[in-house]
């Protein structure tokens, strides 16, 4: 029977997918994979200096073989600047797609976003405190910064959680409102810290980074976010069925054998860990976590077994493309990538709000 089977695994092709869509997840994933490779290549070619495709491949081949790039050549730009930056965009984008998907399931609201829960505001405060008070500009992307951002994310999570749970009850709406309120409070602190910092250079760096930037990409900064994204993907996909059950409500999930309380705690730890690590390397890049799951759901549906891998791939693609736009939009200057995502994302949010209001 055609409607029976389909495995979640991306790449598993052919049988008819169960759902309202006609597009098969395997093809979607394959298409996104190819598009991502093309976008990564374009990202390395394009910029203040154009690099021909042939030079890109030869530089990547030499880089992969481990030979040192000759100084003064394009190899240096390609291998030391552009390639790590393109890869960081992909990793951060994938992570934002995953965090957004997880948070939306957690609060059972397709318009939620990690930023709404105040987790990224906490991460930003932790990171900015580390920049302004402690480490100088040189330590901008070190492990210390990640730890500070993670600590900030966890602390804000704990605060939001406590406020939302007061009185014993728990509702997704209460959680989101607590997140917004506490997020604003923490952002106020962050701005205060930045303005207090005397060093203009440092202030400028902190501001740029607060708007969300991939400018600090180096090979050495890639490992931690990559590991965090892969770990989060594995943890979330392992819980995909439980996430599906959560969409129907706590009672339904409990009746399906899901330990709802434990799943919630796990999701909070995973989302704050991933948010902390991502904010530490790229600052607060907004709206990707909102747009990506929404767009993917329209194509492959709401089943997390398919949604999570596709959201990671699409998030990666989106942020690589947005980064190219941020670097090439102005002739003499680079835009923070978060500025571009906000310019695309905010109207998208308004459109989604409008559509939802019409539907209900």
Partner 1 sequence: MRTAIEDLDVALSGRTVVSGVRIMAEEGEIAGLVGPNGSGKSTVLRTVYRHLRPHAGRVLVGGADIRALTAVQSARQVAALPQERGTDFELSVREVVAMGRTPYKRAFAGEDPTDGDAVAAALDQVGMAGAGRRRFSALSGGERQRVLLARALAQDPKVLVLDEPTNHLDVRHQVELLALLRRHRRTTLLAIHDLNAAASVCDRLHVLHGGKVVASGTPREVLTAGLLAEVFGVRAAVVDHPLTGDPLIAFDHRAPVFPVSGR
Supply 329's token pair: 């939009």
Nearer to partner 1, 7 or 199 (CB): 7
Decide if 315 contacts 95 (C-beta within 8 A): yes
Selected binder of partner 1 within 237, 270, 288, 326 (CB under 8 A): 237
Q: How far is the CB of 103 from partner 1 (least distance, A)?
A: 13
Sign of CA dihedral 226, 112, 169, 188: positive
Per CB under 8 A, contacts with partner 1 among 151-210 are 168
CA distances from 318 to 42, 260, 338 (A): 13, 32, 12
Residue 242, exposed/middle/buried by CB under 10 A (0-12, 13-18, 19+)?
buried
Considering the rule CB under 8 A, would residue 11 count as an interface residue with partner 1? no
Nearest by Cα to 258 from 236, 241, 281 = 241
DSSP code of 133? I
Phi/psi at 73 (nearest 5 deg)? -100, 175
Q: Which is nearer to partner 1, 17 or 122 (CB)?
A: 17
Angle at the Cα of 351 (from 18 to 343), degrees rounded to 5?
115
- Contact segment (CB under 8 A) with partner 1 among 112-120, 200-208, 213-221, 231-239 equals 231-239
**Binding partner 1 by CB under 8 A: which of 137, 166, 252, 347?**
252
Choose which of 109, 202, 203, 328 interacts with partner 1 (CB under 8 A): 109
| Number of residues in contact with partner 1 under rule CB under 8 A | 41
4 binds partner 1 (CB under 8 A): yes
Minimum distance from residue 211 beta carbon to partner 1 (Å): 31
> CA 335, CA 320: separation in Å to the nearest integer?
14
**Six token digits for residue 58:** 């030869």
Q: x-or-dash pattern for partner 1, window 293-312, by CB under 8 A?
A: ----xx--xxx---------
Please give the residue ranges that form the binding site for partner 1 (CB under 8 A).
1, 3-9, 12, 18-20, 108-110, 168, 237-239, 241-242, 244-245, 247-252, 254-259, 297-298, 301-303, 356
């Amino acid at each position: 029977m055609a409607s029976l089977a389909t495995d979640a695994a991306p790449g598993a092709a052919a049988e008819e997918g169960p759902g309202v869509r006609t597009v098969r997840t395997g093809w979607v994933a394959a298409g996104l994979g190819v598009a991502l490779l093309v976008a990564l290549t374009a990202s390395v070619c394009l910029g203040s200096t154009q690099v021909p495709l042939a030079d890109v491949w030869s530089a990547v081949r030499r880089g992969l073989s481990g030979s040192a790039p000759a100084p003064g050549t394009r190899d240096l730009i390609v291998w030391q600047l552009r390639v790590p930056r393109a890869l960081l965009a992909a990793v951060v984008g994938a992570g934002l797609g995953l965090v957004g998907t997880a948070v939306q399931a957690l609060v059972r609201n397709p318009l939620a976003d990690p930023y709404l829960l105040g987790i990224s505001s906490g991460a930003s405060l932790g990171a900015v405190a580390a920049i302004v008070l402690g480490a100088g500009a040189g330590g901008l992307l070190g492990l210390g910064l990640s730890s500070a951002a993670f600590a900030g994310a966890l602390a804000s999570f704990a605060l939001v959680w406590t406020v939302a749970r007061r009185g014993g009850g728990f509702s997704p709406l209460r959680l989101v409102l607590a997140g917004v309120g506490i997020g604003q409070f923490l952002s106020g602190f962050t701005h205060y810290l930045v303005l207090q910092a005397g060093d203009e250079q440092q202030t400028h760096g902190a501001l740029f980074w607060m708007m969300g930037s991939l400018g600090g990409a180096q090979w050495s900064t890639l490992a931690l976010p990559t590991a965090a994204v892969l770990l989060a993907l594995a943890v979330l996909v392992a819980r995909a069925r439980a996430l599906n059950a959560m969409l129907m409500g706590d009672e339904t999930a409990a009746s399906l054998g899901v330990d709802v309380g434990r799943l919630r705690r796990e999701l909070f730890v995973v989302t704050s860990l991933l948010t902390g690590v991502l904010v530490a390397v790229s600052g607060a890049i907004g709206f990707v976590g909102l747009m990506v799951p929404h767009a993917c759901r329209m194509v492959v549906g709401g089943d997390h077994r398919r949604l999570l891998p596709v959201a990671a791939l699409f998030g990666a693609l989106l942020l690589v493309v947005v980064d190219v736009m941020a670097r090439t939009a102005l002739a003499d200057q680079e835009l923070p990538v978060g500025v571009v995502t906000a310019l695309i994302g905010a109207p998208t949010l308004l459109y989604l709000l409008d559509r939802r209001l019409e539907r209900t």
